[in-house]
Amino acid sequence: MRNIFRPSEFRRPKDLHETSWILSSFEGRARVVAGGTELLVHKPLDVDCLVGLSKLDLDYIRNGRAGITIGAGTTLVKIEESEALSVEPYRILREATRLLATPTIRNTATIGGNICNASPAVDLPPALMVLDAKVIISGLEGTREIPIADFFEGVKKTVLSDDEFMVEVKIPAFPENTGASFQKLRHHQTSIDIAIVNAAARLSFAGDTVKEAKVAMGSVAATPIYSKKAEEILKGKILDVDIVKRAAEAASGEAKPIDDIRASAGYRKRMVTVLVERALEESARRCGK
Amino acid sequence: MTDKLSVVGKSVTRFDAVDKVTGKAKYGIDLKVEGMLYGKILRSPYPHARVIKIDTRRAENHPRVRAVTTINDVPKITGAIGHLMTQEGRDHLYLHDNIVRFIGDPIAAVAADDLEAAQDALSLIHVEYEELPAVFDPVEAMKDGAPVIHTEDNNIAFHVLKEIGELDQGLEETDHVFEERYYTSKQKHATMEPTSSCVADYSQNGRLSVYSSTQRPHVSKLYLAKAFDLPVSKVRIIKPYTGGAFGGRDYLIHGLEIMCTSLSMKSGSPVKISFTREEDFIATEARHPFIIDLRFGVTDDGILKAMEMKCVMDVGGYGAHAAGVMTNALTKGVLIYKCPNITFEGHSVYTNKALCGAYRGYGNPQINFAIESLMDQIAEKLGIDAVELRLKNYRGLNELDPLSGQRIESDGMTECIEKAAEKFDWIGREKRKVANGTKRTGTGMCCLIHHSGGRFAIPDPAAATVMFNSDGSVNLVTAAADEGQGNRTVLAQIAAETLGLDYEQVSISSEPDTDMTPFDSGTHGSRQTYAGGIAVKRAAEKAKDKLLDLAAQHLEARKDDLRIGDGFIFHVDNPSINILVSDLLTALQFEDLSKGIQVMGTSTGVAPAVPTIYGANFAEVEVDMATGEVRILKFVCAFDVGKAINPAHVEGQIIGGEVTGMGYALTEGLITKDGKIMNPNFGDYRMLRACDVPKIDAIIVESPEPSGPFGAKGVGEATNAGTAAVIANAIYDAVGVRIEDLPLSQEKILHSL
């Protein structure tokens, strides 16, 4: 095997089917390239063909009655500046984006790339998870739609098969009285850093009671995960300091982080408690609770 | 010095500013030479191994490969050239045998028509290794029975014991004894331009030309001449613009110039090797990690009576600066406070880890972190204000330096501390303290010293030539290497001021070339403004003297009565006796056919002293008790530089240095696991970027150094020496925990709370 990154082909298919056909014809040795901020930095050796999706018109944010759809090729800067995403609870996408990488990278990196890269420390998926987002995947046999949490199978692993690629992210509409929050912990003083831990929360209230709660966290397992126990603790309750604390501790209990050069597992577990607590408090504050 | 200064003390625009900001300036990494090949280095995957066999045949048969070289082909340098050596008299060891001593140690190199082919060919080289037991911990490496990394019977690269007064007696006479152990991290220079790029060209006239971003062109020339057994005159070093050095380009780069030259000799073509960022991280020098044990004895009223300092320094697989850095930690540790009884013992120890070497501060950030942390502890325990404790103890004006025997001639410490304390509002610090949710604020201070040049430790010559042109303008010739700090601009200012010329009338080439410039020991140890400046001033004075001699003859006046100003030489009492400088020079050089004189002056020699640079830092931080995160809210520092020849440059040096100090304190450090560097990239090696750094108030204090040019001393190396200590002290004030282990990561802080 050669020891340098040297794809021999660059293709720009005109439609979804052609894209899948090219991808499948290379049997795993073709890679979709969007912003290129991951692929062209890591330069994987096993790539023979790069497939650019710029002709597929996947760069859009649409606001409809059923919610919001975002094309997989939408750049992060577009999300960061989107009017449609400036309202509760969607605005956590803008906030998570702003905490991600540098302006230069956000100008070219895309939401599809951020998701498909399947890094355990990735920022947008926990935010999308609490917003109940689904991803639309296109392949030789047509398209399929799956909840974003089910998209990830492991570190750098997704459900995509050789012929498949992501085309869209769909976020539903939410009732009034919904608030969300995204929290990211970096190393001190640094404004550009991968998350040591991140966490997102969404609370929908009926009166003073929590009707629905979602808590997700990243950098604490092979994939971003939900904290089901936190959600159970919160659901149907009137929030107080104690419940928030219990939920945060439950989330920490479900986190399965590892020791690595960025932080120890023990520190990460403690930080899940802090971040989830802050996310829940902010979510509640954002709908006036 | 009572004369009014017109160029010195002004923030003139550096001569290379436009080329640099427009991207025209060519750095090492940009170099292209006609017919140039591209080289790549094959590196050891093992931390310690014997290379049994290197099979390069398949690489040599690659159609685009022009030469292959290995550690068996390149010369082995084991001699010392005129600077501090290891205990056994050995110097830097460049590729000296068939043992590899760290992961990344060079084994072979190829030169090919293009970079891809060179990279391809590396995978065709087959190396047979015999793995050897490795040792990574310097304390383990000192023990009997530890794997021996070099040829002697232990891993001690350098040992020093310095005793001043009677430590035991001093400890007995004190009221309090304080003891603590400190650990420091392995910080990388991480220059904007990766450390290593060079083009070696042995294709013409039997001469070796090397384009290399070295801090010491003339010293590199000596090494390469010796390595390749060439007359020194046959080696030429040309230094392109350099994107930062900070000590990382001191001497040769491990494997770079030697491998590159060997490839050029074999291929008959110029060869370029540029390290990738990852290679820069894993295979070039970094700041030595220290383990420091301190034991200080103090009286009730805070007078230091005894200081014991024991240092173990991890030098990595090779002994680069094993003696120099330890010795510098010694001088800073011994000289900062006027304690009568001091013992300093240092062991520099080999391990099978990546290289360590010179990095801005050169042992001082390590020892200062320890000393100034402990001083803070002493101040608190004795109930003495931290500022007062420093003022009571520091070694100031007219004190004897017990190491060099010289007296301290300039001292701005009190002014540094007082000015910075006032700007910082040290007095009002308690009132500013905030506890908000999980956030707590706190303040701290520290002081520091450094020195200008290495006159008493290493041969440290400087030289300059000043040449008048017939129009009255001047060319300044010096080998002073400018890595971006602007020292060549500063030297031109010194020449202009000395000659009574405008700054614009003095020209200096962008970068030195050893064929064109006399020997200079290089840019290191905060020496160029001071030592280089003295050489330039002397050369300019000689040229001026010569010009006035000739003018006196021409005007039939006494030399002492003549002055230079506004382009004229005139009689001080009768200005109508005058001549345009350009007319005189033209006459001397061209019109008077019997003369043909170019007026010029040259100076070679050393600076008379190593003046002390003083500094003080004050910081205010906010610590999040829930996460351990630290944010620096306010930072004020003052440095006594003698005289700021170019205040904007001095400020730039201070701010740049403090920023790297903040990284050293909080986030930076190479992480090594079984000898492998785990964070060789900017994602995982966290430097503070411009947007991460608080406003830094930099105060320039000028306590003129009598021996310095216009009173100047150095500044660069002092600027990051105290940053870790001041931040550690402020964190302690905020949350009551003292982390004695750099970096002060949020995890360590949270863990201690």
Dist. CA B232–CA B22, nearest whole Å: 37
| pLDDT at residue B3 greater than cutoff 70 | no
Q: Which residue of B has its CA nearest to A103?
A: B691
Q: ipTM score of the complex?
A: 0.93
Torsion (CA) B504, B506, B509, B513 in degrees, nearest 10: -170
Nearest residue, CB atoms, A263 vs list B119, B123, B747: B747
What is the nearest CA distance from B626 to chain A, expressed in angstroms? Answer: 7
Q: How confident is the model at residue B84 (pLDDT cuts 50, 70, 90)?
A: very low
Q: Which residues of A touch B660 (CB under 8 A)?
A: none
Q: Do A194 and B683 touch (CB under 8 A)?
A: yes
| Residue A4 sits at the chain B interface (C-beta within 8 Å) | yes
Interval A34-49 mean pLDDT: 92
Contact of B376 with B369, CB cutoff 8 Å: no
Question: What count of residues does chain A have?
Answer: 289
Dist. CA B690–CA B655, nearest whole Å: 11
pLDDT for position B86: 47
| pLDDT at residue B720 greater than cutoff 80 | yes
- The token duo for A280 is 């829940």
pLDDT for position B80: 54
pLDDT tens figures, B407-433: 999 999 999 999 999 999 999 999 999
Which residues, at least 6 apart from B4, have a Cβ–Cβ distance to it below 8 Å? none
Dist. CA B677–CA B684, nearest whole Å: 11
Terminal C-alpha separation, chain B: 55
Q: Do B631 and A188 touch (CB under 8 A)?
A: yes
What is the nearest CA distance from A96 to chain B, expressed in angstroms? Answer: 18
Q: Which residue of B has its CA nearest to A272?
A: B627
Q: Which residues of B touch A187 (CB under 8 A)?
A: 666-667, 686, 745-746
| Residue A274 sits at the chain B interface (C-beta within 8 Å) | yes
DSSP secondary structure of A83-102: SGGGSTTTHHHHHHHHTSS-
DSSP secondary structure of chain A: --SS---SEEE--SSHHHHHHHHHHTTT-EEEESS-TTHHHH--TT-SEEEE-GGG----EEEETTEEEEETT-BHHHHHT-SGGGSTTTHHHHHHHHTSS-HHHHTT-BHHHHHHT--TT-SHHHHHHHTT-EEEEEETTEEEEEEGGGGEEETTEES--TT-EEEEEEEE---SSEEEEEEEE-STT-SS---SEEEEEEEEEETTEEEEEEEEEESSSSS-EE-HHHHHHHTTPBP-HHHHHHHHHHHHHH------SS--HHHHHHHHHHHHHHHHHHHHHHTT-
Dist. CA B510–CA B482, nearest whole Å: 9
Q: Which residue of B has its CA nearest to A260?
A: B678
Torsion (CA) B553, B555, B560, B561 in degrees, nearest 10: 170
| Residue B678 sits at the chain A interface (C-beta within 8 Å) | yes
What is the nearest CA distance from A185 to chain B, expressed in angstroms? Answer: 8
Q: Which residue of B has its CA nearest to A193?
A: B683
Helix, strand, or coil (residue B247)? coil
3-state per-residue secondary structure call for A188-250: CCCCCCCCCEEEEEEEEEECCEEEEEEEEEECCCCCCEECHHHHHHHCCCECCHHHHHHHHHH
Q: Do A190 and B750 touch (CB under 8 A)?
A: no
CB atoms within 10 A of CB A217: 32
| Residue B81 backbone dihedrals phi, psi, to 5 degrees | -120, 95
Q: Do B745 and A187 touch (CB under 8 A)?
A: yes
Q: How confident is the model at residue A192 (pLDDT cuts 50, 70, 90)?
A: confident
Nearest residue, CB atoms, A188 vs list B116, B123, B630: B630
A to B CB pairs, distance under 8 Å:
62
Closest Cα partner for B238 from B201, B194, B196?
A: B201
| Residue B123 sits at the chain A interface (C-beta within 8 Å) | yes
Q: Which residues of B touch A271 (CB under 8 A)?
A: 627
| Residue A45 sits at the chain B interface (C-beta within 8 Å) | no
Helix, strand, or coil (residue B418)? helix
Integer-rounded Cα Rg, in Å, for chain A is 19
3-state per-residue secondary structure call for B112-123: ECCHHHHHHHHC
Closest Cα partner for B512 from B193, B212, B206?
A: B212
Among A221-225, B75-79, B438-442, B680-684, which is the least confidently predicted range? Answer: B75-79
pLDDT over 90 for what percent of chain B? 88
pLDDT for position A249: 98
Nearest residue, CB atoms, B692 vs list A189, A267, A271: A189
Nearest residue, CB atoms, B626 vs list A261, A264, A274: A274
Dist. CA B275–CA B41, nearest whole Å: 9
Mutation pick from B110, B126, B278, B746 vs chain A, by most beta carbons of A within 10 Å, is: B746
Q: What is the bridge-based pairing of β-strands B568-571 and B197-204?
A: unpaired
Nearest residue, CB atoms, A261 vs list B630, B632, B684: B684
Which residues, at least 6 apart from A34, have a Cβ–Cβ distance to it below 8 Å? A52, A53, A72, A73, A109, A110, A112, A113
CB atoms within 10 A of CB B539: 28
What is the nearest CA distance from A82 to chain B, expressed in angstroms? Answer: 24
| pLDDT at residue B95 greater than cutoff 70 | no
Dist. CA B571–CA B552, nearest whole Å: 9
3-state per-residue secondary structure call for B364-401: HHHHHHHHHHHHHHHHHHHCCCHHHHHHHHECCCCCEC
Dist. CA B257–CA B209, nearest whole Å: 11
| pLDDT at residue B82 greater than cutoff 70 | no
Q: Do B747 and A264 touch (CB under 8 A)?
A: yes
Q: Do B746 and A187 touch (CB under 8 A)?
A: yes
| Residue B681 sits at the chain A interface (C-beta within 8 Å) | no
| Residue A157 sits at the chain B interface (C-beta within 8 Å) | no
Q: Which residue has the higher pLDDT, B95 or B605?
A: B605
CB neighbour burial string for B189-211, b if at least 16 within 10 angstroms, e if fewer: bbbebbbbbbbbbbbeeeebbbb
Q: Do A261 and B692 touch (CB under 8 A)?
A: no
DSSP secondary structure of B552-608: HHHHTS-GGGEEEETTEEEESS-TTSEEEHHHHHHIIIIISTTT-PPPEEEEEE--S
| Residue B670 sits at the chain A interface (C-beta within 8 Å) | no
3-state per-residue secondary structure call for B492-525: HHHHHHHHCCCHHHEEECCCCECCCCCCCCCCCC
Q: Do A193 and B686 touch (CB under 8 A)?
A: yes
DSSP secondary structure of B64-110: TEEEEEETTTS--B----SS---TTS----BS-SSEE-STT-EEEEE
Q: What is the bridge-based pairing of β-strands B37-43 and B271-274?
A: parallel
- The token duo for A14 is 């005109």
| Residue A229 sits at the chain B interface (C-beta within 8 Å) | no
B24: which strand partners? none
Dist. CA B263–CA B261, nearest whole Å: 5
| Residue B139 backbone dihedrals phi, psi, to 5 degrees | -70, -40
Q: Which residue of A has its CA nearest to B677?
A: A261
Q: How confident is the model at residue B196 (pLDDT cuts 50, 70, 90)?
A: confident
Q: Do B120 and A188 touch (CB under 8 A)?
A: no
Dist. CA A278–CA A183, nearest whole Å: 7
| pLDDT at residue B88 greater than cutoff 60 | no
pLDDT tens figures, A59-78: 999 999 999 999 999 999 99
pLDDT for position B728: 98
Q: Do B632 and A191 touch (CB under 8 A)?
A: no
Terminal C-alpha separation, chain A: 59
Interval B114-133 mean pLDDT: 96
pLDDT for position B83: 47
Residue entry with tokens 């400087």: B462
Dist. CA B675–CA B45, nearest whole Å: 10
Dist. CA B107–CA B255, nearest whole Å: 9
What is the nearest CA distance from B688 to chain A, expressed in angstroms? Answer: 6
CB atoms within 10 A of CB A37: 22
| Residue A189 sits at the chain B interface (C-beta within 8 Å) | yes
Contact of B634 with B619, CB cutoff 8 Å: yes
Q: What is the bridge-based pairing of β-strands B65-70 and B106-112?
A: antiparallel
Q: Do A270 and B631 touch (CB under 8 A)?
A: no
Interval B303-325 mean pLDDT: 94
Question: Cis ω on the peptide bond leading into residue B743 (within 30° of 0)?
Answer: yes
Q: Do B686 and A187 touch (CB under 8 A)?
A: yes
Closest Cα partner for B640 from B309, B389, B442, B417?
A: B417
Domains of chain B: 17-24+461-605 (3.30.365.10), 32-132+196-244+251-283 (3.90.1170.50), 375-455+610-752 (3.30.365.10)
Q: Do A274 and B627 touch (CB under 8 A)?
A: yes
pLDDT for position B85: 45
pLDDT tens figures, B372-399: 999 999 999 999 999 999 999 999 999 9
Mutation pick from A189, A197, A285 vs chain B, by most beta carbons of B within 10 Å, is: A189
Interval A97-111 mean pLDDT: 94
| Residue A187 sits at the chain B interface (C-beta within 8 Å) | yes
Domains of chain A: 9-54 (3.30.43), 56-172 (3.30.465.10), 178-286 (3.30.390.50)
For chain A, the maximum distance between any two Cα atoms, rounded to a whole number of angstroms, is: 63
Interval B585-609 mean pLDDT: 93
Estimate the crossing angle of helix A241-254 against helix A265-286, to 10 degrees: 140
B271's enclosing H/E stretch is strand B271-274
pLDDT for position B90: 53
- The token duo for A143 is 């398209």
| Residue A8 sits at the chain B interface (C-beta within 8 Å) | no
| pLDDT at residue B677 greater than cutoff 90 | yes
pLDDT for position B78: 61
pLDDT for position B81: 56
Question: Cis ω on the peptide bond leading into residue A89 (within 30° of 0)?
Answer: yes
Dist. CA B18–CA B264, nearest whole Å: 34
- The token duo for B700 is 């320039």
Integer-rounded Cα Rg, in Å, for chain B is 27
Closest Cα partner for B472 from B623, B301, B343, B599?
A: B599
Nearest residue, CB atoms, A190 vs list B120, B123, B688: B688
- The token duo for A22 is 């090219």
- The token duo for B473 is 């303008």
pLDDT tens figures, B266-295: 999 999 999 999 999 999 999 999 999 999
pLDDT for position B54: 98
Helix, strand, or coil (residue B31)? coil
Q: Which residues of B touch A191 (CB under 8 A)?
A: 689, 691-692
Angle at B720 between CA B359 and CA B335, to 5 degrees: 90
| Residue A155 sits at the chain B interface (C-beta within 8 Å) | no
Q: Do A261 and B120 touch (CB under 8 A)?
A: no
Q: Do A190 and B692 touch (CB under 8 A)?
A: yes
Nearest residue, CB atoms, B686 vs list A4, A190, A271: A190
Q: pTM for this one?
A: 0.95
Q: Which residues of A touch B630 (CB under 8 A)?
A: 188-189
| Residue A262 sits at the chain B interface (C-beta within 8 Å) | yes
What is the nearest CA distance from A268 to chain B, expressed in angstroms? Answer: 9
Closest Cα partner for B581 from B539, B615, B551?
A: B551
| pLDDT at residue A3 greater than cutoff 80 | no
Average pLDDT across chain B, whole number: 94
What is the nearest CA distance from A4 to chain B, expressed in angstroms? Answer: 7
